[in-house]
Amino acid sequence: MTDTLAIKITKVTQSRLASVDFENLQFGKTFTDHMFTADYANGEWGNFQIVPYGEISISPAMSSLHYGQSFFEGLKAFKHDNGTVSIFRPDKNAERFNASAERMCMPTLPEEIFIESISTLVNLEKNWIPNQANSALYIRPFMFATDPFLGVAPSTTYKYMVLTGPVGAYFSKNLNVKIETEYSRASEGGFGYAKCAGNYGGAMYPSKLGTQQGYDQLMWTDSKDHAYIEEMGAANIMFLVAGTLITPTTRDTVLNGVTRDSILTLAQQWGIPVEERRVSVAEIIEAAQNGKLTDAFGAGTAAGVASVISITYKNQKYDLPNPAHSEFTQRLSKTLLDIKYGRIEDENGWNVVV
């Protein structure tokens, strides 16, 4: 990685590393010693800094608090057995970062700045990447509007920041999910494809209702008719039906996941038939009924592959085969991890070594 950005680095005087219990990491609660920050003003990005992780001072009139010009990314860095550290497909996150920025009427960030901010920070925090199996360093880049102005208008100033924190192995239990037929996560012409803050705030209430009813996740459907499956929780959804991998096409209501893209690429390379198209609730229920639906799983950076064990639609529960016995799901999750940890050849060039 070339050093082209002038990043001013202020290091902590005392690292918190020794006080971290790496055996009991909870996602999103532990942060490394430093964070990256940059400011946008007068039409350009500047003030690139790495500073000790800590609170920042903001105006209570800060426009992102009131009108939601705010979005984020999520990706991970992995430590290989030989000590090499790599970040998984950050170019894809840079691309999506700017897709979110454009939709939220916010400034884009040159891909070099995105990549360099992340790799410089990860490099500085290398010692924080856990050695425990299947642990990683979670990377959270985000941008928000900072004008202290209550007018409903795009802000003229913004902050771009990156936080990093160690995360443990994600033991995803098999999920009991409900097909949501009342609430929607995203609508046509909307911004479901952007990783903007409001999408997640708006999903919390229906998700809470689902949890109260005993479901682990919601399968989101189209907002018009609730007849087509779009996503699951904050992950893409995939189905293996009679040996064909089927997933909803990315569109304005479906986020373009990096894990989704990686899985589709691997499946194609393995010669598994892949269909990206609209996926109706009716066909999935029928496939579940006649036993052709052998695998269903969420795909995302946090969990990797998160298997579904049952699908409930209109109070009717359909059980799926145990994913532990699925050759496809097992091969898929193992291969993804093996690539990220450098245990097998990275044939697609997905790992960016720091």
Interface residues with ligand PLP (CB under 6 A) are: 74, 195, 231, 234-236, 255, 257-260, 299-301
Q: How far apart are CA 310 and CA 297, in angstroms?
A: 11
Q: How far apart are CA 158 and CA 152, in angstroms?
A: 15
C-beta of 97 vs 328, nearer to ligand PLP: 97
Residue 232 CB, shortest distance to ligand PLP, in Å, is 8
Q: How far apart are CA 350 and CA 174, in angstroms?
A: 27
Residue 195 CB, shortest distance to ligand PLP, in Å, is 5
Exposure string of 131-158, with b = 16+ CB inside 10 Å and e = fewer, is eeeebbbbbbbbbbbbbebeeeeebebb
Cβ distance 235 to 299 under 8 Å? Answer: yes
Residue 198 CB, shortest distance to ligand PLP, in Å, is 12
C-beta of 147 vs 210, nearer to ligand PLP: 210
Helix extents (H) in the chain: 63-67, 90-103, 111-124, 197-212, 258-269, 281-289, 327-340
Torsion of Cα atoms, 147 then 107 then 259 then 302, to 10°: -20
C-beta of 77 vs 258, nearer to ligand PLP: 258
Structure tokens at 25: 């990491």
Cβ distance 158 to 107 under 8 Å? Answer: yes
Do strands 351-353 and 85-88 pair parallel, antiparallel, or not at all (unpaired)?
antiparallel
Residue 141 CB, shortest distance to ligand PLP, in Å, is 12
Cβ distance 100 to 227 under 8 Å? Answer: no
Residue 273 CB, shortest distance to ligand PLP, in Å, is 22
Residue 162 CB, shortest distance to ligand PLP, in Å, is 16
Residue 290 CB, shortest distance to ligand PLP, in Å, is 28
C-beta of 235 vs 352, nearer to ligand PLP: 235
C-beta of 107 vs 257, nearer to ligand PLP: 257
Among 177, 264, 300, smallest CA distance to 229 is for: 177
